[in-house]
Amino acid sequence: MLEIKDINTFYGKAQALFDLSLTVNKLEIYALVGSNGAGKTTLLHTISGLITPASGSIEFLGERIDGLEPHIIVEMGISHVPEGGRVFNDMTVRENLEMGAYPLHAWKIKHETLAQVYEIFPVLKERDKQLARTLSGGEHQMLAMGRGLMSRPKLCIFDEPSYGLAPKFVEEVFSVIKSLREQGITILLVEQNVRHTLETADRACVLENGYVGLDGTCDVLLESDHVRKAYLGL
């Protein structure tokens, strides 16, 4: 579904990604793990068009997307839920969700999608008319995820969806991610909870200083001495 080849990305003169390549298959959960500053969020921003790579290519469903505007990438079927959610605090829950139905094909069926989002996150239906600023941290993250689903994506990118959440909400977030795959959505996941991530995902890669250090199935990575020592504290 997503093929990244030899991507090099810069912030000014500082290089952040180095000849990075990876492939995300249809209907899998693919995880990116690594320490802070490893390049995970930079890679997500490069995929979603917020950053243009200096070289290399990104293909989504066989079409080049590197260099395209972010709204075009959304229309093609990629939804990006950024770290912290970044919802519109002075809009209601419903207004936030409707903002996610930007692509024309999604806007035409927004009421159907809204009903599906409310089924996935019942608490959002209860908070339908509340301003986003009045939500708890967990509800705030659910709203961000729900808004991402409103564009009817084929690939959903989640950046640290459980950051700062209470344990009960962390479990709910991971449960939702698994259920989305069952509904036909491919997932690209960046998450600080490495063990939970590797137990949830199918495949993963470890980013280290802008390079792919390790990649493979999550079962294999969980048994890696390097992963166990560096990221699991074992």
- Using one digit for the tens of pLDDT, what is the confidence trace for 85-118? 789 999 999 999 999 998 889 999 999 999 999 9
| Residue 234 pLDDT level (bands cut at 50, 70, 90) | low
Mean pLDDT for all residues in the chain: 92
Whether residue 20 has pLDDT greater than 80: yes
Whether residue 233 has pLDDT greater than 80: no
Give per-residue pLDDT as tens, 119-173.
999 999 999 999 999 998 889 989 999 999 999 999 999 999 888 778 878 888 8
Q: What are the structure tokens assigned to 84, written together?
A: 């912290």
Q: Is the CATH number of domain 2-77+153-230 3.40.50.300?
A: yes
Confidence (pLDDT) at 195: 87
Q: Residue 118: helix, strand or coil by DSSP?
A: helix
Task: Report the half-sphere exposure of 18 (CA within 13 A, side-chain side).
Answer: 10
Q: Indicate the domain borders of the chain.
A: 2-77+153-230, 84-148
Give per-residue pLDDT as tens, 34-77.
988 899 999 999 999 999 999 999 999 999 999 999 999 999 99
Give per-residue pLDDT as tens, 169-219.
888 888 999 999 999 999 999 988 888 899 999 999 999 999 998 999 999
Helical H segments across 165-231, by residue range: 167-182, 194-200, 218-222, 225-230
Rounded to two decimals, the pTM is: 0.92
Question: Is 183 exposed, middle or buried (CB count within 10 Å of its CB: 0-12, 13-18, 19+)?
Answer: exposed
Q: How many residues does the chain have?
A: 234
- The order of strands in the sheet holding 63-64 is 14-24, 2-11, 55-60, 63-64
